[in-house]
Amino acid sequence: MKTVYRYVLTEMVPSFLVCVGLLTCLFMTNKIFLMLDLVLNKKVPLFQTLVLYLSLVPFILSMTIPMSMMVGTLLAFGRLSSDMEVTAFKSSGIHLFHLVAPVLALGLLMTGAMMYFNDKVLPAANFLFKETQFQILQKQANLAIREKVWIDQFENYRFLIDHQEPDGSFSNIKAFNYWSPKAPLQTTVAKTGTLVNDPNTYQVFFHLNNGVMSWDNNNYNTYNQLYFDRYIIRLNFENQLSRLADVKKDYEEMDLDELSRAIPQEMDPGRLNRLRSEYQKRLSLPFACLVLSWFCAPLGLWTKSKGFMGFVLGLALIFVYYFMFVLGETLSNQGTLNPVTGLWGADIILAVLGSLLYYLVIMEHSAFRHFSSAVRTRGSRKESRR
């Protein structure tokens, strides 16, 4: 039996590893151009850019490894079934479960490994990304903000500063921005301003003092002005770092123990939903390695899909699974669904469907054979009547 286990794993593991490499490269490719822009146009140091880029890899792997378990299992069992090797195993007295067992064992092993990975490695990488991003933003903000030069490196804003004082503060500042693409231009003029770095929240702010904001109101044909003593603008890089920031939020930097301690102390309902959803996500996503293996093994035997068609079917199943997963996560974050139901729903559905497919494969598709025979009988009766 060890020979059978080794043979099945030899068939499945190479496909799994190739899928991990391909999918990871696919997801990381679009980030390369953003990194090149940081190095070439924004003059960000190469080392910091590499750290920023590599800190994204754990987030990508947390998604691509369960995906690859699905595709690798589907391809392996599709080939075994289409090449009649499953029939040969059955003729030798080997039960189908002995073919599925080594893949389930690998899925269980990957579930444990990914649970540790998502609990320790992923939060650390997210924090490293956030810390590196802040260091870059802090340095670039200090370099970008100069006197008597149009400053347009920051998202949605253009600045013009008349003078920079020896202590680092600024005077006679003009800021131009749009609230939305269709909104009128808003002009802000301030007498003084300072650049403030917040190491606790890893953000950079521009504090403007003693100024006025002016804008047109097209709906009422009025010109509005708002005077202020202090106005704070949060600075974000235009398109570059802001587009890479989708994997870093404070609750995504916590491990499971920190999340479990933060949940009872949270008073804000919206943030509480996100904390609870993140906790369940850390558990359910690794468990997908086992569930998807259980689902795709009988599916591959049933559909006999191999090669290109098996890969296409695997991609389609990836889309279906992550659509259900993201939908459940979104509804859980909104408070519409309980996080346990929302984040575990996709796993439970596929586990049940996998059990049904396994039963149909064991029964050699008897349900479908009876259905097709009934259709043929009905058709023959119609022909006899004619």
Write out pLDDT tens, residues 342-358. Answer: 999 999 999 999 999 88
Beta bridge partners of 217: 222
Backbone region of residue 335 per phi and psi (left: phi > 0; alpha: psi in -120 to 50; beta: other values): left
301: closest CA among 22, 81, 116?
81
- pLDDT value of position 227: 93
For residue 314, give Cα distances in angstroms to 206, 353, 362. Answer: 49, 16, 22
Output the furthest CA–CA distance in the chain (Å, rounded): 103
| Cβ atoms of 298 and 100 closer than 8 Å | yes
Which amino acid belongs to residue 218? N
The CA distance from 214 to 108, in Å, is: 61
214: closest CA among 228, 203, 225?
225
For the chain, list residues with pLDDT below 70.
41-42, 137-138, 140-144, 153, 179-182, 199-202, 237-250, 307, 364-386
- pLDDT value of position 374: 52
The per-residue DSSP string of 264-320 comes to: TT---HHHHHHHHHHHHHHHHHHHHHHHHHHHHHHHHHHH---HHHHHHHHHHHHHH
- pLDDT value of position 142: 63
pLDDT tens for each residue of 213-245? 998 877 777 888 899 999 998 887 654 444 444
Beta strands in the chain (DSSP E): 157-164, 170-178, 185-198, 203-217, 222-234
- pLDDT value of position 267: 84
The per-residue DSSP string of 91-112 comes to: HTT--HHHHHHHHHHHHHHHHH
